[in-house]
Amino acid sequence: MEAALLEPVINTVTELDSLFKPKSIAIIGASQKELSIGNVIIKNLVHYGYTGAIYPINPKMSEIRGIKAYTSIFEVEGDIDLAHVIVPAPSVPQVIEDCGKKGIKAVIINSAGFSEMGDEGIALQKKFLAIAKEYGVRIFGPNCQGIINTDPEYRAYCDFTFTFPKPGNISIVALSGGVGAFIMQSLFDLDTGMRLYASNGNACDVSISDVIRYYGDDEDTRVIILYTEGLSNPLEFMDVVKEVTKKKPVLAMKSGRTVEGAKAAASHTGALAGVDISTELIFEKIGILSFHNEEELCQVAIAFANQPIPQGNRVGIITNTGGPAVIATDELVNAGLQLPALSERAKEILHKTQLPEATIGNPIDVVATGGGIHFRSALDVLMEEDDIDSIFINFVTAPFTDTDEVARNIVEVSQMKKKPVICNFMTNMSLERFQVTSRILKDGGVPCYSFPTTAAKALGALYRYGKTRARNIGEANNFKDIDHNKAEVIMHQAVKDGKPYLSADRVYELLNAYGIPVADWWLANDIEEAMSAANGMGYPVVLKAESTEIVHKSDVGGVAINLKNAIDVAEAASRMVNVFGSKNLKFFVQKFMPGGKELIAGVSVKPGLGHLIMFGLGGVYVEVLKDVVFKIAPVTKVEAGEMLSSIKAAKLLDGVRGEKGINRDMAIEIIQRVSQLVTDFPVITEMDMNPIIALNDKLFVVDARMKIS
């Protein structure tokens, strides 16, 4: 295995070894009934060549499928590492207690009838889980498929599915057994090996995070495939998986991305529901590659299984047919790759070694009559080129070519592992001679695809992972110039008042305390004070009726803009008194700043995860174009910079049509300070700063709203 091409990992013995590397397995609820789960699991273990001891447990049978059966686990001499439990739900707590007493360390509960079935099932699940914890038994499931370990040392097929994968280095974890099974099947169909498999159903104890941590530590797992419909403990997931993605690629698909899809997910898991963007944000934050197409995910995985990660985005193409090279080029370029021109040295060699009708360039077209030596010289040249990071091959099996010779040369060069080699292999696999060619390529670890776009997507994903792995978002900044005391006093008072929305003065004081620049303002108790405040800050000003009772001020006549003198202020204030009455009414006077670019920032809360920070361009950009981006708090400086760069109209921030760009550093700092504010005060559940005006190389929050709970 080429794990060394990624980063070295240390194989640690963990408590999940009993689950994934069992030396003995009891099947509690073993059955003689063909096709029942308690029979199929035994059949699968035997069929797959499980290397350990199998103990069918059934009170009435002396043997099952020719294997000695026991009436109880206590009858089994010696230790049992792992037990399958396939008894009716109500009996499970007693069985778990027995397992604990027997010293079994891991249990797969295949039986259903727990949290997926409502209150009664939830209670039952809690009950057996408490017992398990008491005895230190790890529970996998319930209502699950199980695990598979293809390692020849174990060959533990602890599952009732019916695909028997060959050993490999791709490991799978799937919330849905149905999806897990077809991902495994897909790798099988792609003639690719698998390492470990886990589908943990209700996941009451061993979580997806636990499994991924284990895969992360498993030396022979080179790439991890994750399928989920949501995350029950996103913080744990982030903590665990961010360490794993540094070591090896995690390719993931989260479904339930549409309202209807989320509804369908809720109806079958009973637990997770609601469209949320946070799972994809988590993937992004911790460097998981996200996919929206499971076929593509599987196809891409086989490239990760064998090939090194490219150092950069420069690809060289070798082809023996025209059209497919055009198609591949389109997709490679779309994926962010470039096709550099060949060096003079390279062209010189190729002119000597290629057929006269070959095209010397990038792509290199060795033409259909090109054989092993022509492919080889092209491969060698690209391997030597400093400007090339990866090699893409279109290989159509022309009948007049020694295709095996071509394949052997591709394999030899690929096995140097200097640069990734991806092969679009276009052939008729019903012809025996091309099956042989295919075997040479696949056994040689060359990822083979049947379509140029598909192959190009695989190389694109390798490149994307290379970028992701190299990305270091750093740690969140901890600004020292913050007036914590003042902020705490304000928040304390706000919580004590018990109103959901903070008054404007508190919001602005809080922003001030956190070093977030706000437009000059004054909270005046009466009209006189408003006039003098306006005189003090200079005209024009904005006047806002201030009372926590009034939320959407501008809709009800509570805002007057562009007041040019004290008389204007007095008149506007009087009108507000007429509308709202003078009781409890104060006047928020603020410097009016026409022109400038409108930005927005905001905060929302995802239960179990924390705050999401939003940034975008204000006005029509947010309202019509929805041109905003989100990140999970705490947001680092790098991430804040990415937020600015990733809005669709990012160029507007740099200024267009001769106008000046905004002060990017200041915007990046504001995003970080907002992140720090809500991280320090989790009680803040909503915050809108709309607009933030960018004017004369400065930024000012001009209107802000904050909700606590």
Six token digits for residue 366: 């060795």
Q: Can you tell me the distance from the alpha carbon of 110 to that of 291, in angstroms, rounded to the nearest whole number?
A: 29
Name which of 301, 306, 47 is nearest 164 in CA terms. 47
CA 448 to chain centre: 26
Which of residues 70 and 157 has its CB atom nearest to a copy of itself in the complex? 157
Nearest of 184, 142, 127 to residue 28 by alpha carbon: 142
Beta strand ranges found along 303-461 (DSSP E): 315-319, 364-365, 390-396, 421-426, 448-449
Stretch that binds a copy of itself, among 134-142, 359-367, 664-672, 697-705 (CB under 8 A): 359-367
Q: Are 299 and 248 in contact (CB under 8 A)?
A: no
74 binding a copy of itself? (CB under 8 A): no
Tell me 549's DSSP state: T
Q: Which is nearer to a copy of itself, 270 or 641 (CB)?
A: 270
Q: Does 174 bind a copy of itself (CB under 8 A)?
A: yes
Q: Which of 205, 229, 568, 639 binds a copy of itself (CB under 8 A)?
A: 229
Among residues 5, 429, 436, 579, the one that binds a copy of itself under rule CB under 8 A = 429
Kindly state whether residue 541 participates in binding a copy of itself, applying the rule CB under 8 A: no
CB-nearer residue toward a copy of itself: 423 or 531: 423
DSSP 541-608: EEEEEE-TT-SSGGGGT-EEEEE-SHHHHHHHHHHHHHHH-STT-EEEEEE---SSEEEEEEEEEETT
Residue type, 332: L
Residue with Cβ nearer a copy of itself (74 or 162): 162
Contact mark string toward a copy of itself, 282..321, x via CB under 8 A: ----------xxxx---------------------x---x
**CA 243 vs CA 151, 288, 442, 610: distances in Å:** 24, 11, 31, 20
Count CA atoms within 13 Å of residue 202 on its CB side.
24
Window 657 to 686, contacts with a copy of itself (CB under 8 A) = 657
Nearest CA among 282, 225, 280 for reference residue 256: 280
Site for a copy of itself in 382-401 (CB under 8 A): 394, 396, 399-400
Identify the residue whose tokens are 């911790």.
286
Q: Show the site string, 100-139: x = touches a copy of itself by CB under 8 A, - = not.
A: ----------------------------------------
Q: Which region among 65-73, 248-256, 582-590, 696-704 touches a copy of itself (by CB under 8 A)? A: 248-256
Under the criterion CB under 8 A, does residue 361 sit at the interface with a copy of itself?
yes
Among 49, 103, 323, 336, interactor with a copy of itself by CB under 8 A: 323
Three-state DSSP class for residue 522: strand
Among 8, 10, 13, 35, binds a copy of itself (CB under 8 A): 35
Could you say whether residue 148 binds a copy of itself (CB under 8 A)?
A: no
DSSP designation for 133: H
**CB neighbour burial string for 680-698, b if at least 16 within 10 angstroms, e if fewer:** bbeebbbbbbbbbbbbeee
Report the DSSP beta bridge partners of residue 559. Answer: 544
Interacting residue with a copy of itself among 106, 240, 265, 687 (CB under 8 A): 265
**Stretch of 9-17, 99-107, 257-265, 414-422 lying at the interface with a copy of itself (CB under 8 A):** 257-265
Task: Residue 85: name the closest of 130, 134, 125, 120 by CA.
Answer: 125
CA–CA separation, 424 vs 418, rounded Å?
Answer: 19
Q: Please tell me what DSSP assigns to residue 220.
A: T
Quick one: 398 or 476, whose CB is closer to a copy of itself? 398
- Residue choice 49, 103, 178, 581 for contact with a copy of itself (CB under 8 A): 178
Q: Give the whole-angstrom CA distance, residue 708 versus residue 494.
A: 8
Which one of residues 129, 131, 339, 603 is an interface residue with a copy of itself (CB under 8 A)? 339
| Closer to a copy of itself by Cβ: residue 341 or 579 | 341
Nearer to a copy of itself, 136 or 399 (CB): 399
Q: Least separation, in Å, of the C-beta of 229 and a copy of itself?
A: 6
Of residues 38, 256, 370, 372, which one binds a copy of itself by CB under 8 A? Answer: 256
Which residue in the set 71, 428, 525, 565 belongs to the binding site for a copy of itself (CB under 8 A)? Answer: 428
Q: How far apart are CA 377 and CA 282, in angstroms?
A: 44
Give the number of other CB atoms < 10 A from CB of residue 334.
12
CB 652, CB 299: distance < 8 Å: no
- Contact letters for a copy of itself, residues 188-227 (x by CB under 8 A): xx-------------------------------------x
Give the chain's radius of gyration (CA, Å).
32
Number of residues lying near a copy of itself (CB under 8 A): 84
Q: Does 268 bind a copy of itself (CB under 8 A)?
A: yes
Work out whether 88 is an interface residue with a copy of itself (CB under 8 A). no
Residue nearer to a copy of itself on the CB measure, 72 or 334 = 334
